Amino acid sequence: MELAGYGSAEMGGHERIRFLKDLDTEVAGRHVLVVDEVVDTGLTLHYLCRALGLRRPESLAAAVLFDRPYRRLVDDLPVRHVGFTIPDEFYAGYGFDLDERWRNLPDLHLVERSPALRACVA
């Protein structure tokens, strides 16, 4: 599956989520594990889990590499496996990007908060 989130709940708006690609197989009666890179507010994962729950899986759980539980806006998420709980900072590299840059770095870097610099630091 592929979802896209846009808008911002933090800015007083509402995050909107849409499916870009749906599943190719049925999940009814099957154990489903959602794997995601990061769970933040939980809005996207909550939307996805509600949509999958309507398809009647045997079980539904999530595994995330990074978790930011202190930013959560949704409480009832099935996050069962967490790689790391991280602070409220932005990272780039190892597949994570900032404005489509630094995704190809071989490791994670903390992105400086200064918009003028937009530089990665180790």
pLDDT tens-digit profile of 34-87?
Answer: 999 999 899 999 999 999 999 999 999 999 999 999 989 998 899 999 999 998
Residues with a catalytic annotation lie at 40
CB distance 57 to 49 below 8 Å:
no
| Count of helix runs (H) and strand runs (E) in the chain | 1, 8
Tell me the longest C-alpha to C-alpha distance in the chain.
51
Residue from 102, 42, 27, 57 nearest 121 by CA:
102
Residue 14, pLDDT > 60, answer no
Rounded Cα distance between 6 and 102, Å, is: 21
The highest-level CATH class for domain 2-88 is alpha beta
pTM of the model: 0.76
Contact 30, 16 (CB under 8 A): no
Sorted by where each begins, the domain ranges of the chain are 2-88, 90-122
